[in-house]
Amino acid sequence: MTRHLPVFQRFLLVIAGLSLACCLPGNQSVRAQSAASAQTKILTPQDVGSLMPHSVFFRGQTATVQMRNTFGLRSADGTIVLAGLVDSSGYATSIQQKYQGYILSETALTINGETLSAGAYGFGFIANNAFVVMNLGAHDVLHAVSKTDATMPHPRPLEIVAGTHAGSYRLYAGRRFVAIRMK
Position 3 scores a pLDDT of 52
What pLDDT, on a 0 to 100 scale, did the predictor assign at position 10?
46
Task: Give tens-digit pLDDT for 40-68.
Answer: 999 977 789 999 999 999 999 999 999 99
Q: What percent of the chain has pLDDT over 70?
A: 79
pLDDT tens digits, 138-168: 999 999 999 999 999 899 999 999 999 989 9
**Sequence spans of domains, the chain:** 2-38, 41-182
Closest-CA residue to 53 (of 64, 69, 68) = 64
Contacts 24+ apart (CB under 8 A), 113-121: 113/179, 114/142, 114/143, 114/144, 115/183, 116/141, 116/142, 120/56, 120/57
d(CA 23, CA 59): 50
pLDDT of residue 6: 55
Residue 15: predicted pLDDT: 41
CB–CB of 122/99 below 8 Å?
A: yes
Q: Are 35 and 29 within 8 A, CB to CB?
A: no
The average pLDDT across 28-32 equals 38
CA-closest candidate to residue 57, choices 91, 98, 81, 94 = 91
- Cα→Cα distances 38→86, 119, 129, 173, 182, Å: 30, 24, 30, 24, 12
